[in-house]
Amino acid sequence: MVTGCAPFFLLALAGVALGSWIFGGHLAARLMGLGGLALFLLYYALLNWTAQARLKFRREEEEAEESPGQGSRPALRGEARAEWAHYLRAEGRMLWLGVGALALAIGALIARRR
């Protein structure tokens, strides 16, 4: 999920330049750029959270069945499932940390302006 974000980050950086040109003030441009980045990170953090929830739900569903793997998609097994779960948790932590850091930066810019 994170590796597919590059085009969106480029669009957000273009938003900083466009915001600077439209608003003419540096604070508005910074808030627009940081807000755009925060929204993109939040979107991907929520996608990650959904993937983690689905993985957990699927695991619980397979444990409840007598013969797992009868569904239309092949089920992850053992080490592959553990590796994927670890990847999702690590990626989720990075994304939520980014969202929190950007929210703090936006708050600091707004508080400094007052």
Domain presence at residue 107: yes
What is the Cα–Cα distance from 114 to 107, expressed in whole angstroms?
A: 11
CB-facing half-sphere around the CA of 91: CA atoms within 13 A: 22
Q: What are 3's two structure tokens?
A: 């590796």
pLDDT of residue 69: 52
Domain presence at residue 106: yes
Domain presence at residue 49: yes
pLDDT of residue 100: 93
Tell me the pLDDT tens digit for each residue of 29-84.
778 777 877 888 888 889 889 999 998 888 888 778 755 555 555 666 778 888 88
Contact between 32 and 75 under an 8 Å Cβ cutoff? The reply is: no
Domain count along the chain: 1
Is residue 24 helix, strand or coil? Answer: coil
93 pLDDT more than 90: yes
- DSSP string of 18-42? HHHHHH-SHHHHHHHHHHHHHHHHH
Owner of token pair 């929210």: 103
Domain presence at residue 70: no
Range of the domain at 16: 3-63+78-113
Domain presence at residue 19: yes
